[in-house]
């Protein structure tokens, strides 16, 4: 009798010249139990198990399950003593399990791309590796055509290593070659630091730095004076004290609300950042918040409770502006190390007029940031 594979729905039989190998059931009763449960075989007494020709074929093991080949051997055919076959899950049942426990869309996660600098034939190259997002159309194929290995099971939670079919397992790879120094610098991961800026630090380090740099904000004045980007303005309150213009951020293509992103720029000049805000600016902040929310509701249909409205510290330019982003969009810079919710800013100013002048404010700074080197020079980091 030829050797046959016991694995559910596998019809492999031993043939000459086939690369498939066939493995005997383990003698160790504990390992045997693991094999049987991986194959969804509950009946240990099943007569089919007693047949001399029953095996499990190599298609149900991963490469790591095999012993390292000894010298001279091409590939090991010997399983490690604790190797266990892939867990068999009925494809139909699997889809059922996933759909019953959670809506399928919530388990689709996008991988963060990995960037690496490599040398290709003596030239520097930037390589960006990105796992492509899982499309919902491929889910049923993903569940039915993948191999699964149980990692851990605890009560209702279990984790598997899923080996998808090759065509569903692509990695988008972007190559910049030859990469200039600028490219390398841009893509090289920059170390980031948390700076705790006291009132003294602001007066002695940050303020002189801002003044000395005299960052050009002419482009902001151009927008406010309609000399540039006038057609992009979606709302304006022209009041010189309380007024502002509202326009979409360049990161938002305005095609869908998922990543809605608008900026309100105050008409009032001279408010460099959060540090300059006092209770006399509360009416301005309230006006921006109220009219910004109303405009976004009227124009894009997104209500106030779907918006994250905040001020950056440090800001990317030193003229008061407020960010409006869709709550479900993880906009860059919307985390606690940079964003200050405008509602909290208003309350802090009302409770304690000197709040932003006196409090220690923390923010993150990249290695290549000029302000960071000033803090390092002053021995504050
Ligand atoms: Zn098999
Ligand atoms: Zn900003």
Sheet order of strands, 235-237 included: 235-237, 244-248, 261-266, 321-326, 307-312, 339-341
SS3 readout for 61-101: CCHHHECCCCCCCCCCCCECCCCCCCCCCCHHHHHHHHHHH
Return the number of other C-beta atoms located less than 10 Å from residue 133's C-beta: 11
Tell how far the Cα of 314 is from the centroid of ligand 2, in angstroms: 8
pLDDT in tens, 303-329: 999 999 999 999 989 999 999 999 999
Tell how far the Cα of 61 is from the centroid of ligand 1, in angstroms: 9
Where does the pLDDT of residue 102 fall: very low under 50, low under 70, confident under 90, or very high at 90 and above? very low
More confident residue, 298 or 168: 298
**DSSP per-residue string spanning 99-135:** HHHS-GGGG--PPPPEEEEEEETTEEEEEEEEEPPPP
Buried b (16+ CB within 10 A) or exposed e, 25-50: ebeeeeeeebbbebbebeeeeeeeee
The confidence score (pLDDT) of residue 38 equals 86
Task: Give CA–CA dist 305/374, Å, rounded.
Answer: 40
Tell how far the Cα of 317 is from the centroid of ligand 2, in angstroms: 7
Helix (H) or strand (E) holding 186: helix 181-187
Residue 165 has pLDDT above 90, yes or no: no
Task: Give CA–CA dist 114/128, Å, rounded.
Answer: 6
Q: Evaluate the CA torsion angle 212, 218, 224, 229 in order and state its sign.
A: negative
pLDDT in tens, 28-52: 888 888 888 888 887 777 766 777 7
Instruction: Give me the residue label for tokens 């921006």.
Output: 288
Tell how far the Cα of 275 is from the centroid of ligand 2, in angstroms: 14
Tell how far the Cα of 294 is from the centroid of ligand 2, in angstroms: 21
**In the annotation, is 183 catalytic?**
no
Nearest to 14 by CA among 42, 51, 55: 55
Sheet order of strands, 54-57 included: 4-5, 54-57, 22-23
The confidence score (pLDDT) of residue 152 equals 78
Q: What are the distances in angstroms from CA 378 to CA 210, 314, 331, 373?
A: 16, 18, 32, 8
Q: What is the number of alpha carbons within 13 Å of residue 101 lying toward its C-beta?
A: 11
Q: Which of 23, 319, 321, 340 is catalytic?
A: 321
The confidence score (pLDDT) of residue 18 equals 81
Domains of the chain in sequence order: 4-65 (no CATH), 91-184 (3.30.200.40), 190-377 (3.30.428.10)
Considering the chain, what percentage of its residues have pLDDT values greater than 70?
Answer: 87
Instruction: Give me the residue label for tokens 């293509």.
Output: 253
Ligand nearest to the CA of 22: 1
Residue 127 has pLDDT above 90, yes or no: no
Lowest-pLDDT range of 184-188, 271-275, 377-381: 184-188
pTM of the entire predicted model: 0.62
- Residue 345: left (phi > 0), alpha (psi -120 to 50), or beta? alpha
The confidence score (pLDDT) of residue 307 equals 97
Nearest to 281 by CA among 297, 270, 294: 270
Average pLDDT for residues 159-182, to the nearest whole number? 79
The residues with which 363 forms a beta bridge, in sequence order, are 195
Task: Give CA–CA dist 136/138, Å, rounded.
Answer: 5
Average pLDDT for residues 294-307, to the nearest whole number? 97
Residue 100 has pLDDT above 70, yes or no: no
Return the number of other C-beta atoms located less than 10 Å from residue 20's C-beta: 13
Tell how far the Cα of 58 is from the centroid of ligand 1, in angstroms: 7
Tell how far the Cα of 318 is from the centroid of ligand 2, in angstroms: 9
Nearest to 245 by CA among 255, 253, 237, 256: 237
């Amino acid at each position: 009798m030829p050797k046959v594979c016991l694995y559910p729905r596998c019809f492999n039989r031993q043939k000459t010249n086939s690369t498939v190998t066939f493995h005997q059931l383990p003698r160790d009763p504990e390992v045997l139990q693991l094999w049987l449960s991986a194959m969804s075989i509950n009946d240990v007494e099943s007569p089919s198990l007693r047949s001399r020709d029953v095996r499990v074929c190599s298609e149900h093991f991963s490469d790591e399950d095999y012993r390292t080949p000894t010298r001279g051997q091409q590939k090991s055919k010997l399983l490690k003593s604790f190797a266990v076959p892939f867990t068999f899950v009925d494809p139909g049942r699997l889809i059922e399990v996933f759909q019953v426990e959670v809506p399928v869309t919530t388990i689709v996660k996008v991988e963060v791309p990995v960037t690496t600098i490599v040398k290709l034939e003596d030239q520097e190259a930037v390589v960006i590796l990105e796992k492509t997002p899982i499309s919902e159309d491929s889910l049923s194929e993903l569940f039915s055509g993948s191999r699964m290995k149980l990692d851990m099971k605890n009560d209702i939670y279990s984790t598997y290593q899923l080996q998808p079919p090759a065509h569903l397992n692509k990695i988008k790879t972007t190559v910049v070659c030859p990469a200039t120094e600028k490219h390398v610098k841009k893509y090289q991961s920059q170390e980031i630091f948390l700076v705790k800026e006291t009132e003294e630090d602001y007066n002695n380090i940050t303020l002189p730095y801002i003044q000395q740099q005299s960052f050009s904000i002419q482009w902001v004045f151009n927008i406010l004076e309609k000399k540039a980007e006038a057609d992009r303005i979606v709302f304006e309150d022209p009041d010189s004290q309380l007024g502002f213009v509202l326009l979409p951020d360049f990161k938002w293509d305005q095609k869908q609300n998922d990543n809605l992103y608008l900026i309100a720029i105050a008409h009032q000049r001279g408010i460099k950042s959060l540090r300059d805000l006092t209770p006399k600016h509360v009416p301005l902040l309230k006006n921006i918040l109220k009219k910004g929310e109303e405009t976004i509701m009227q124009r894009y249909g997104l209500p106030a409770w779907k918006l994250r409205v905040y001020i950056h510290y440090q800001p990317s330019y030193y003229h008061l502006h407020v960010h409006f982003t869709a709550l479900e969009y993880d906009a860059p810079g919307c985390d606690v190390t940079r964003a200050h919710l405008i509602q909290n800013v208003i309350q802090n100013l009302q409770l304690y007029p000197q709040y932003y002048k006196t409090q220690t404010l923390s923010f993150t700074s990249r290695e290549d940031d000029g302000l960071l080197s000033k803090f390092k020079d002053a021995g504050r980091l």
